Amino acid sequence: MAVGLHGLPSLAPVTGVRLGTIAAGIRKKDRRDLVLIECTPGTHAAATFTRNRFCAAPVIVAREHLAKTAPRALLINTGFANAGTGEPGLQDARACCGALAERLGCRADEILPFSTGVIGERFPRDRIIAGLPACIAGLSENGWAEAAHGIMTTDTVPKGSSRKTHLGSRTVTVTGITKGAGMIRPDMATMLAFVATDAAVAPAVLQACVSAAVDASFNRITVDGDTSTNDACVLLATGAAGNPVIDQTGGEAYAALLNAVTEVFTELAQAIVRDAEGATKFITVEVQGGRSEADCLAVAYTIAHSPLVKTAFFACDPNWGRILAAVGRAPIGQLDVGRVTIHLNEIRVVHNGALDADYTEPKGLAVMRLPEIRIGVDLGAGTASARIWTSDLSHDYVRINAEYRS
Amino acid sequence: MAVGLHGLPSLAPVTGVRLGTIAAGIRKKDRRDLVLIECTPGTHAAATFTRNRFCAAPVIVAREHLAKTAPRALLINTGFANAGTGEPGLQDARACCGALAERLGCRADEILPFSTGVIGERFPRDRIIAGLPACIAGLSENGWAEAAHGIMTTDTVPKGSSRKTHLGSRTVTVTGITKGAGMIRPDMATMLAFVATDAAVAPAVLQACVSAAVDASFNRITVDGDTSTNDACVLLATGAAGNPVIDQTGGEAYAALLNAVTEVFTELAQAIVRDAEGATKFITVEVQGGRSEADCLAVAYTIAHSPLVKTAFFACDPNWGRILAAVGRAPIGQLDVGRVTIHLNEIRVVHNGALDADYTEPKGLAVMRLPEIRIGVDLGAGTASARIWTSDLSHDYVRINAEYRS
């Protein structure tokens, strides 16, 4: 499926970051499932993690390690999420960090662990530790595409993005990979995105950059409303580009970096929606004319999470009444239905709360048959706006999630 | 499908209420689609309606009429919801009321209109008005079962419930019918429930009774989280039983009536979930140990609306990690995950936030294969509790809603 994705784009290496990917037989045979991302000493890292209270053991450990020190390596496995595994799961995550640290000659808290897969089952730490030597042997600055494959689960395609931008006389690179297709409604960042830049950035500024970029990208997508237990988005900055260190969020250099990072994050976030489980449509929901951004987001997510709206899009059925009903039940303080306007791409379907006089079913149908559709809602109440991206609900979503563990 | 529903129960007539049902060819031929419920002069009515801001024209008109006077008749059509139809839709609804009032020899505001079907399309008032004489000719106190058929849309079975209770020396009857299978997440009452009793009840007490009973029944079910534009629940009280008028909410007589009404409402509400679009499971979500009922409801609805939880139930897959992830993302103020317990029927799956030591996959699987399953969550934080009912998410839900208008 993967709406509008045509192969992995070219991913430029980031000086100071090496990646190694192997098939460690963690859950299935002959499937790349273990990825090591090593970064040069002096690299800063900033990250965002899930707000799901049942966050996974690796999320707890990664958060703890990152608060102490800059990382030397990220270790990512698929197959098991190591979530809902209690104290034994925490011990498993720490054991993997310790084993890798020993082999890399660093401290255990310089390792950040990440996991994705089935929630609740015990984590096979031995298979992961056994795979470490091969991962280390394979480390390469050209390993991004391999790693994009290595972190896939129900994804049908690998996902990556790369940008170059100029900071004064220096060219810096931002390259990243991500995975995710279901259990996607990031509240902080989505499971899992790993992005690196060779820009020199002070740690606090890097964190500000991640938070701002995540808010405009990963925090604006939803597949099924199910916020994962394992969401994590990490941005590494090696400093190898040699630009003057960006140490404040004002200024041109920060703006250029933030722009490049946001572009990469947005391309990655959209790639998740394009490859959403069973997706046949890539849907942009734009709400404007709200009293607040929060109101606009509430309306946008109510539309994006409506199973009836999502199945209508799957069916290419311009059943705009379902969009209108979703707007009407959105949890916002006030709504004057007589001022609401709804567009499907450029076709105005609802005007002043009722069917537009010029609308015809064939016009709506022509839009609904497209693979990429914009739902535009104007609440007619203010000047705030918000935009999110989502997918449809198809037979395959049910099939994939009914068969997930079999 | 219709989990655990085996035919319409016997529906006792309510003295003073007559029903007539015909096939008026409103949307499809040879399908019962127009129902008239006439009540004797002196009948009181109380009702709850959808809180969806895009409420349908008939909801606006019925609410307006009910505020003015007691009704003499209810007119219900399927095929068209007459929602999102603006001013013309309001005129259509009023025209039908006027035409019926003329034939019954009453005022137009003594008629309450109700519609269900496709949202947004113009309402065929002529076909409805043309059907009125046949509806009136067929009026009968024994018309409940016919009427239960006449209000069906995507329902696979007719739904009704009947109870008798004693008020002092008098036996009173409470009989009702309902419809609904999709776009079900009532915020006030679900589209459509019509219940009548021959008890004598003062209007204000009747409204209190409806509100209390709705809150414990129709406001505790969800199929897909999509609150309809047309929800309405009406309770008629003819007074024909001759009991002393119930004119206060304290006292034994009110308690007996409320109990009977709540039982009928609950059976009807559960029947909607049992016949939910594509449903293969009837799921009770019970949350206890919360700080407040609102917290318990928030957790219960987060579980009940999770597409991942719903598809796991469809697959009979004891993928309890999805329930745990839903609890973890529920919008409540505080949650100590280390105190959370989760049961599937009597099997304790999660204890203190992690897998129960005695849990085994075969135990979970045995429960998941049952058609009726209770998810029990204890938040370990307080003494509040809440219970709701929901269904699973199957291939057929997608098929039904992708094909709805074709």
* Angstrom distance (rounded) from CA B79 to CA A110: 64
ipTM (interface predicted TM): 0.75
- In order, the DSSP letters of B86-128 are HHHHHHHHHHHHHHHHHHHTS-GGGEEEEEEEESSSPP-HHHH
Q: Which residue of B has its CA nearest to A117?
A: B321
Query: Distance (Å) from the C-alpha of residue B154 to the closest C-alpha of chain A?
Result: 14
DSSP-derived 3-state class of residue B291:
coil
The pLDDT, as a whole number, for residue A1 is: 55
DSSP-derived 3-state class of residue B316:
coil
Do the Cβ atoms of B329 and A401 come within 8 Å? no
Do the Cβ atoms of B402 and A315 come within 8 Å? yes
Residue A281 parent element (H or E): none
Q: Side chain identity at B81, as an amino acid letter? A: A
Do the Cβ atoms of A54 and B325 come within 8 Å? yes
DSSP-derived 3-state class of residue B308:
helix
DSSP secondary structure letter of residue A152: -
Distances (CA, A) of A144 to A17, A20, A46, A79, A174: 10, 9, 19, 20, 12
A vs B: CB pairs below 8 A: 212
For tokens 């129709």, the residue is: B218
The pLDDT, as a whole number, for residue B1 is: 55
Query: Distance (Å) from the C-alpha of residue B90 to the closest C-alpha of chain A?
Result: 12
CA proximity to A284, closest of A357, A377, A358: A377
* Angstrom distance (rounded) from CA B122 to CA B221: 30
Helices (runs of H) and strands (runs of E) counted in chain A: 11, 16
Query: Distance (Å) from the C-alpha of residue B229 to the closest C-alpha of chain A?
Result: 6
The pLDDT, as a whole number, for residue B186 is: 60
Q: Which residues pair with B80 in a beta bridge?
A: B118
A-interface mutation test, from B401, B403, B405, B406, most A Cβ less than 10 A away: B401
Do the Cβ atoms of B317 and A399 come within 8 Å? no
* Angstrom distance (rounded) from CA B61 to CA B93: 7
Structure tokens at A142: 């050209």
Using CB atoms, pick whichever of B229, B314, B324 lies closest to residue A120.
Answer: B324
The pLDDT, as a whole number, for residue A222 is: 77
Query: pLDDT tens for residues A33-49?
Result: 999 999 999 999 998 88
Helix H segments across A221-282?
A: 252-274
Are B44 and B237 within 8 A, CB to CB?
yes
| Cβ within 8 Å of residue A134, ≥6 positions away | A20, A22, A24
Chain A CB contacts of B308 under 8 Å are 182-183, 224, 226, 401
* Angstrom distance (rounded) from CA B132 to CA B116: 18
Do the Cβ atoms of B319 and A404 come within 8 Å? yes
Do the Cβ atoms of A350 and B52 come within 8 Å? no
Are B391 and B279 within 8 A, CB to CB?
yes
- In order, the DSSP letters of A99-140 are HHHHHHTS-GGGEEEEEEEESSSPP-HHHHHHHHHHHHHT-B
CA proximity to B50, closest of B233, B277, B205, B284: B233
* Angstrom distance (rounded) from CA B59 to CA B48: 10
For tokens 């037989």, the residue is: A25
Kindly report whether the global pTM for this prediction surpasses the value 0.90. no
Structure tokens at B348: 């304790």
The answer to whether B190 is a known catalytic residue is yes
Q: What are phi and psi of B268, to 5 degrees?
A: -65, -45
* Angstrom distance (rounded) from CA B194 to CA A30: 60
Chain A CB contacts of B182 under 8 Å are 308
What's the average model confidence in pLDDT over A124-144? 96
The pLDDT, as a whole number, for residue B230 is: 72
What's the average model confidence in pLDDT over A202-215? 87
* Angstrom distance (rounded) from CA A29 to CA B180: 47
Distances (CA, A) of A242 to A72, A172, A235, A324, B127: 19, 9, 18, 53, 78
**Bigger pLDDT: B131 or A239?**
B131
* Angstrom distance (rounded) from CA A57 to CA A44: 23
Query: Distance (Å) from the C-alpha of residue B152 to the closest C-alpha of chain A?
Result: 19
Are A172 and A44 within 8 A, CB to CB?
no
| Cβ within 8 Å of residue A39, ≥6 positions away | A16, A17, A18, A45, A71, A72, A73, A74, A196, A236, A238
Query: Distance (Å) from the C-alpha of residue A151 to the closest C-alpha of chain B?
Result: 20
Do the Cβ atoms of A355 and B118 come within 8 Å? no
Are A72 and A38 within 8 A, CB to CB?
yes
Do the Cβ atoms of B229 and A325 come within 8 Å? yes
For tokens 């040069």, the residue is: A40
**Which residues in B119-151 are b (16+ Cβ under 10 Å) and which e?**
bbbebbbebbbebbeebbeebeeebbbbbbbbb
* Angstrom distance (rounded) from CA B243 to CA B247: 11
Query: pLDDT tens for residues A173-183?
Result: 999 898 877 76
Chain B CB contacts of A52 under 8 Å are 325, 328-329
Given B78, B173, B178, B190, the catalytic residue = B190
Chain B CB contacts of A55 under 8 Å are 328
| Cβ within 8 Å of residue A114, ≥6 positions away | A58, A62, A74, A75, A76, A77, A192, A230, A232
Query: pLDDT tens for residues A149-162?
Result: 999 988 888 999 99
Q: Which residues pair with A378 in a beta bridge?
A: A288, A341
Structure tokens at A270: 């959209």
Chain A CB contacts of B188 under 8 Å are none
Do the Cβ atoms of A329 and B394 come within 8 Å? no
Query: Distance (Å) from the C-alpha of residue B115 to the closest C-alpha of chain A?
Result: 14
Domains and CATH numbers, chain B: 17-274 (3.60.70.12), 282-403 (3.10.20.340)
Average pLDDT, chain A: 89
CA proximity to B241, closest of B180, B171, B337: B171
A247: left (phi over 0), alpha (psi -120 to 50) or beta: alpha
Query: pLDDT tens for residues A101-121?
Result: 999 999 999 999 999 888 888
- In order, the DSSP letters of A7-64 are SPPP----TTEEEEEE---SSSTTS--EEEEEE-TT-EEEEEE---SS--HHHHHHHH
> From edge to edge, which strands make up the β-sheet containing B347-351?
B221-222, B384-391, B282-290, B372-378, B341-344, B347-351, B354-355
Length reported for chain A = 406
Q: Side chain identity at A46, as an amino acid letter? A: A
Do the Cβ atoms of A306 and B337 come within 8 Å? no
Q: How many CA atoms lie within 13 A of A363 on its CB side?
A: 14
Query: pLDDT tens for residues A338-389?
Result: 899 999 999 999 999 888 999 999 999 999 999 999 999 999 999 999 999 9
* Angstrom distance (rounded) from CA A51 to CA B210: 39
Given A190, A266, A280, A390, the catalytic residue = A190
A179: left (phi over 0), alpha (psi -120 to 50) or beta: beta
Q: What is chain B's pLDDT, residue by residue, as a tens digit (406 residues)?
A: 588 788 899 999 999 999 999 999 999 889 999 999 999 999 999 988 887 778 889 999 999 999 999 999 999 999 998 988 889 999 999 999 999 999 999 999 999 999 988 888 888 999 999 999 999 999 999 999 999 999 998 888 898 999 899 888 889 999 988 887 776 666 544 567 888 899 989 988 998 888 888 888 887 777 777 777 777 888 989 989 989 999 988 888 899 999 999 988 888 888 888 888 888 999 999 999 999 999 999 999 999 999 889 999 999 999 888 899 899 889 898 899 889 999 999 999 999 988 899 999 999 999 999 999 999 999 999 999 999 999 999 988 888 888 765 4
A-interface mutation test, from B52, B54, B230, most A Cβ less than 10 A away: B54
* Angstrom distance (rounded) from CA B22 to CA B112: 18
In the predicted structure, residue A322 carries a pLDDT above the cut 50? yes
Chain A CB contacts of B337 under 8 Å are 53-54
Q: Which residue of B has its CA nearest to A331?
A: B52
Are B2 and B224 within 8 A, CB to CB?
no
Computed on alpha carbons and rounded to an integer, the radius of gyration of chain B in Å comes to 22
Structure tokens at A9: 């784009």
Residue B401 parent element (H or E): helix B395-403
Do the Cβ atoms of A402 and B337 come within 8 Å? no
Residue B131 parent element (H or E): helix B125-137
* Angstrom distance (rounded) from CA A95 to CA A351: 60
* Angstrom distance (rounded) from CA B156 to CA B230: 20
What's the average model confidence in pLDDT over A189-204? 81
Q: Which residue of A has its CA nearest to B313?
A: A402
Chain A CB contacts of B85 under 8 Å are 354-355
**Bigger pLDDT: A139 or A187?**
A139
